[in-house]
Structure formats: C-alpha cells, structure tokens
Amino acid sequence: MMETIEPSISDRPLKIAGKEFSNRFLLGTGKFKNKKDLQDAIAASGTQIVTVALRRIDLERHEENILEYIPKDVTLLINTSGARNAREAVAIAHLARDSGYGDWIKIEVINDSKYLLPDNEETVKATEILAKEGFTILPYMYPDLYTARALVKANAATVMPLGSLIGSHQGLQTREFIQILVDEIAVPIIVDAGLGAPSHAAEAMELGAAGVLANTAIASALHPAAIAKAFSLAVEGGRLAYLSKMAKSLPQANASSPLTGFLFEATENF
Amino acid sequence: MISLEHIRQILLDRSPATLEKLAGKAAQLTQQYFGRTIGLYAPLYLSNYCGSYCTYCGFHSHNRIKRFKLTPEEMRQEMAYLANQGIENILLLTGESYQLTPMEYLQEAVGIANDYFSSISLEVHPLETGQYAQLFAGGVDGIAVYQETYDRKLYSQVHRSGIKADYDFRYRAPQRAAGGGIRSITLGILLGLADPAEDLCSLYQHLRLMEKNYPGVEYSLSFPRLKPIKAKDFVKASVDDATFIKIICLTRVLFPRVGINLSTRERPWIRDHVLGLGVTRLSAGSNTSVGGYTLKAVDEQDPQFDIEDHRSLAQIIAVIKKSHFDPILTDWRRIKNPSALYSSWQKG
C-alpha cells in the first residue's frame, strides 16, 4: 500500500476580528432555487461564514425563514444589499443588530444598477461609522489601494475586493490590483464577486488572498452542493499552493540551471 | 445600441431555430444574473376615477362605469386580505385623477400600506419631482409609469384628453421620479397599440437615457399586451405569442440586469413557460377592479382590463416551485427613506 505523505506546511486559521476559521471559503445565499439547495451547499462546502441580505429575511410571517437553513455554528454575515449610500448601509446595519442578527456586517454600497459596482467612497464612510459603533465590518469594494488603506484606517476587519463584475463569472479580471492589496494591506483580503469557477477561486488563493466568497456560480449550478464543495476544495488547494511558495509565472524563459550558480559553489573545479 | 432595423428583423424572423437561439441566450443570462428566483407582487386598485380619455382603457373618463375610491377603512380591508395571502410587495394603482386622488389621498394610502407590506410601488398619474420625493419619504420604493406608445401621432390619437394627453410630461415622469429619490422605476409599452419594433426601440432608448442619468435606480420593464375590457377588443396591432416571447428574450439579452415583469394579463400557459426566459417578477392572485379582493362581488366589478390568470398566490407559488424556481415574496426591508436629502430639491 502506498504511503500517504502529508505536506509539512502548516497553516494558521483565517482570523477575522479575533474569531478563527479553518475554512477559507465564504458563501453567499442569494439566487438559489430552494432553501434545501442552500443548506446542502453549506454542508458540502464546510463553509463557516455565510452572508445573507437583510432585505431577504422575512421574520414576520410568510416565507420559509432563510436563517433556519443556516447552522448555528456558522457565522452569520449580514450584508447591506440595496444600500445606495453610506447612510442607508448604516441604517441596514442598525436594523440587523436590533433584529438580533449579530454585528458582523458586509457593507455593500451600490449606486449603479447596470454594473453593480460598489461605491468605494460611501463604503469607507459607512465603515468609519459602523466600526466606531463596534460592528465587525467586512467591506465589499473595487480593488483600489487608497480605498483599502482608508478602510483599514477605519478599522475594517477585512477588505473584500471584487474579482470581476457581480454575477459575470469572469474570474480575476482585477488580478493585478488584488495582488497589490494582498502585498500591501495588513487585514485579510477576501476576494468577492465574479468568480465563476473553482479555478478562479484557486487562482485568487494562489495570489495570497486570505479567503474567497462566491454565490452566483454555486446557486445557478445544476448541482449546487457539488460545486460548493469544488469551490471549497479549490480554495484549500490554492491556499496550499500559496503556502508552498510555488514558482510564479515569468514573462520569459528561465534557465533551470542558474547561470551564475558557479559563484556560490563550495569549491572551484579548476 | 441595437438599431430599429435589427429589432424589426428579429421580431419578423419566424424561424423556430432563431427563437430557440435567442431564448437560450436569454435563459442563460437570466440564470446568471437573477439565479433561479421569481419575485411576486400583487396590484391593488385604490380608485377608478380618471380625468384622461384613453381609448383602450376600462377606466377612461368617457366610460360609464361606477366610479369610486377606497376609503381608508376599505384600503385596510383590501390590504389586510393581500398581506394575509402572503403578499409583501404591493403595487397601488389609481386612475389618473389629480382632483379625486390627489397627493393627500396617495400619501394616506401609502401610510396605511406601510403597516402591511415591506415594499410599496405606485402606478398613478405622473407627478412632479417634489411630490415623488414626498412619496419616497412616506415609504414608496417603486414607481411604474408606462409611456404606452412612443409613436407620438398614435399617442395623441389614443390619449384624447386629460393630463395623459401630454406626451412629454409623461415621458419625463421617470426622470422626475428618479430625481425624487425613488429606488425602483418600471417603464413599459402597451403592446397592441403601435408597431412593436418601433416602440421597443424607443423604450430601449428611454431606458438607456435613464440608466445614464440615474444609474442608482433599479429598472424594470413591462410589456403588457392590450386586453379586451369586458370582451370589447381595442387591439390595433396584434402581438402574437412568439413575438411576445421574442420581445422578452431580446430585452434580456440587451439588458441582462433589468427586471422584467409579467402580469396576469397573460394566460397561465404563457406565464408558466416564460419562467427562466427573462421574466423576474410575476403578479399573482390579482384583481384589477377597485375593491375587487374583498369589497365587490364579481358581477359588481369594473376591471381596468380582463385578467387571464385567475390562479391564487398559493397556486402560483406551487407552479414556480415545481418549475425549480424559488418564489420570492420578501426582497425588501424598509428603512426610513430620507426626506431631508431631497428637501433642498423641493425648495429649489
């Protein structure tokens, strides 16, 4: 029987606002054809953070309450979907806390219905206000270094740059800029939006992202639980690749025997 | 932007293969951007008083129907009925009477609706920006205002008198609504009045104008097909089922993120089959008469138009689920809409 060799690299858990997570895949809950699919996707992926739009929660009466399908040990991240400015995002966060959904808020401020691009300026404003009030803020943003720095200054717990347009499945169109954030920003970078395939998620993790959030790609697949698991595995694989300090692609060929290696040889051959 | 000739070519193409290709693309985009969800809403007619004479409408001012408007108590009764059915998203409608359903009346209705629904939309006569701002502050999220037709000549023929006869005032109503802070705006054409290709082209241009100038608004489109009223037919340019489906699919392909509404004007057969092809919201369990839910017996009712899909909300939900879609009743959580942001505008 072949011996299984476990890689000797050990990883630390993802730490957000003092809370630790062994799974770095975050799941969005919109667009599923039924709540059972959502429940199965959560279980299959092993995700530990799930985001729900406050606007979709119906506590009063009629619908199956989406929260009943989210296990209690999963961290609930309420998002401010529908907010067009900082004021509305803040109001939604207050409503979420007052309704007993905790104080982990993913700020989404979108004032463009055609591209659904986040408004970075308003996102910073909302983060400043809510972080001061004790909320744990995970802001969704367009990957801009200055904005990311402002968010960190405002005490954001993470920064969540978009990979490409929401729902576009185009993958890491913003790759270079996310790389800059990974290199320069001290809080975890969690790539959100536009990831259409597990390979996109793996790519984000290989870059050094601390986590990945996906929704549409999973909700719209024929087998949501299977693709959710595939995403989770890809995130794990990408993370391991990042930790392995794998060779990065280079713009031209690179000699596998270093040209100046002889300078560092122990002894001269002549 | 797509040309009129191209739209016409697509609508006239009778090839099933072309339609299938268009439908395939539309289905893929709908699933990509909206997932497998269908929003649900219900209309509630507050009044059938109308000062406009629109030849195709059951409420028009020259039509001898029993006119009345709901009292606050009657509004509560009708609203409570719909809320108990499960409706969270209400569309309040009136005829176009500035005198008999003035702002105060609309504000009162909206105030009551706040007690029953999480999202309130209005389909009433066009208003001024300041009035839209007041309604927004009162809790209105959405405004529906259809141009009906963009053919100016035909527009003046079918809208013979009243405020609706003013084409430009109506055309600019969505801009005023957006300026008043309204979050969600529905535009539409009444299919059956004019050349559908021309109206569709103009509607798309109107939508692009709105998108560029008011990018924060969520837009939806509606394509009601002109229906008979108490069996009397007003159709001038018939739009058959295949053309209707093409209009929905083409719209989805050109505007992947725009909402598309489908009312109970359409037959169950059509409504069930277009799930997934582009439609994002359905009305359900609807009645188009004032007081039609709880106050008036069927033989006492004067509907704005005859509906085709008489199934209850529960039945529609069952059909949606059977088709592997998630019926969405709640997609809005009310926060206090800001009046202060727009008050400076009103003063200006």
Position B340 confidence tier, pLDDT thresholds 50, 70, 90: very low
Mean pLDDT, to the nearest integer, of A46-69? 76
* C-alpha to C-alpha distance for A50 and A14, rounded to whole angstroms: 15
CB contact under 8 A, B333 and A169: no
Domain that includes residue B337, residue range: 4-342
Q: Hey, of A38, A64, A114, which one would you mutate to test binding to chain B, going by the most B CBs within 10 A of its CB?
A: A114
> Which of helix, strand or coil describes residue A124?
helix
Angle at A179 between CA A153 and CA A175, to 5 degrees: 120
Strand partners, B220: B186, B259
State which residue of chain B sits closest to A87, comparing Cα positions: B338
- A123: pLDDT strictly greater than 70: yes
Would you say residue B231 lies in a domain? yes
Q: Retrieve residue B100's tokens.
A: 């008999």
* Residue B216 in tokens: 């924060």
B312 touches chain A (CB under 8 A): no
Q: Which of B324, B326, B333 has its CB closest to that of A55? A: B333
Secondary structure letter of residue A82 according to DSSP: T
**pTM listed for this prediction:** 0.82
Closest alpha carbon to A159 in A199, A192, A113? A192
Cβ-defined contact of B215 to A114 (cutoff 8 Å): yes
Average pLDDT over residues B60-72: 80
- Tell me, what's the pLDDT at A60? 56
pLDDT at A250: 57
Q: Which stretch of DSSP H or E encloses residue A125?
A: helix A120-132
C-alpha angle with apex A79: A74 to A83, nearest 5 degrees?
175
pLDDT of B345 reads 37
Sign for the pseudo-dihedral over CA of B202, B205, B207, B213: negative
CB contact under 8 A, B36 and A220: yes
Report the domain count for chain B.
1
- Point out the residues of A that are catalytic: 106
For residue A51, list its beta bridge partners: A28, A77
Amino acid at B116: Y
* Chain B residues near residue A57 by CB distance under 8 angstroms: 330, 333
Neighboring chain A residues of B88 at a CB cutoff of 8 Å: 58, 62
Distance CA B337, CA B344 (A): 15
**A128-137, A149-158, B234-243, B273-282 — which is least confidently predicted?**
B234-243
Tell me if residue A104 falls in helix, strand or coil: strand
Per-residue model confidence as pLDDT tens digits over B144-180: 999 999 999 999 888 888 788 899 999 999 999 999 9
Confidence of residue B290 (pLDDT cuts 50, 70, 90): confident
Q: Which residues of B touch A35 (CB under 8 A)?
A: 326
Q: What residues in chain A have their Cβ under 8 A from chain B's Cβ atoms?
A: 30-35, 54-58, 61-63, 82, 84, 87-88, 91-92, 95, 111-114, 116, 167-169, 216, 219-220
Question: What is the three-state SS of chain B?
Answer: CCCHHHHHHHHHCCCHHHHHHHHHHHHHHHHHHHCCEEEEEEEEECECCCCCEECCCCCCCCCCCCCCECCHHHHHHHHHHHHHHCCCEEEEECCCCCCCCCHHHHHHHHHHHCCCCCEEEEECCCCCHHHHHHHHHHCCCEEECCCECCCHHHHHHHEEECHHHCHHHHHCHHHHHHHCCCCEEEEEECECCCCHHHHHHHHHHHHHHHHHHCCCCEEEEECCECCCECCECCCCCCCCHHHHHHHHHHHHHHCCCCEEEECCCCCHHHHHHCECCCECEEECCCCCCCCCCCCCCHHHCCCCCCCCCCCCHHHHHHHHHHCCCEEECCCCCCCCCCCHHHHHHHHC
Nearest to A145 by CA among A116, A179, A173: A179
> How close A181 comes to chain B (CA, Å)?
27
Tell me the three state secondary structure of residue A32: coil
C-alpha distance from residue B12 to each of B22, B196, B201, B236, B240 (Å): 13, 10, 14, 18, 11
Per-residue pLDDT band for A101 (boundaries 50, 70, 90) equals confident
B240 within some domain: yes
User: Which chain A residues contact residue B333 at CB under 8 A?
Assistant: 54-55, 57, 82, 92, 95
Contact B172, B158 (CB under 8 A): no
CA-based Rg of chain A, rounded to a whole angstrom?
21
Lowest mean pLDDT among A144-148, A171-175, B329-333: B329-333
List CB contacts (< 8 A) between B252 and chain A: none
**Domain locations in chain A?**
14-246
Q: Which residues 37-56 of B are in CB contact (within 8 Å) with A?
A: 37
Nearest to B331 among A56, A112, A168 (CB): A56
Which among A101, A113, A115, A164 is the top mutation candidate for probing chain B, defined by the most B β-carbons within 10 Å of its own β-carbon? A113
- CATH code: domain A14-246 is 3.20.20.70
Q: Taking the CB of residue B84, how many other CB atoms lie within 10 A of it?
A: 11
Q: What is the CATH number of the domain that holds B237?
A: 3.20.20.70
Neighbouring residues of B76: CB distance < 8 A, sequence distance ≥ 6: B112, B115
Q: Which of A34, A113, A216 sits opposite B216 (nearest CB)?
A: A113
Averaged pLDDT for residues A40-55 = 91
Residue B126 lies in a domain: yes
Query: Which whole-number Å values give the CA distances from B298 to A106, B268, B287, B295, in the listed order?
Result: 49, 20, 10, 10
Which residues in chain A are closer than 8 Å to B33, comparing Cβ atoms? 167, 216
Determine whether the interchain pair A82/B321 forms a contact, defined as Cβ–Cβ distance below 8 Å: no
pLDDT, residue B347, reads 38
Q: How far is CA A54 from the centre of its chain?
A: 19
Residue B325 contacts A where some CB pair is shorter than 8 Å: yes
Which DSSP state fits A174?
T
pLDDT the model gives residue B341: 44
Q: How many residues does chain A have?
A: 270
Q: Do A34 and B324 touch (CB under 8 A)?
A: yes
**pLDDT above 70 for A269:** no
Q: What is the pLDDT of residues B97-143, one digit of tens each?
A: 888 889 999 999 999 999 999 899 999 999 999 999 999 999 999 99
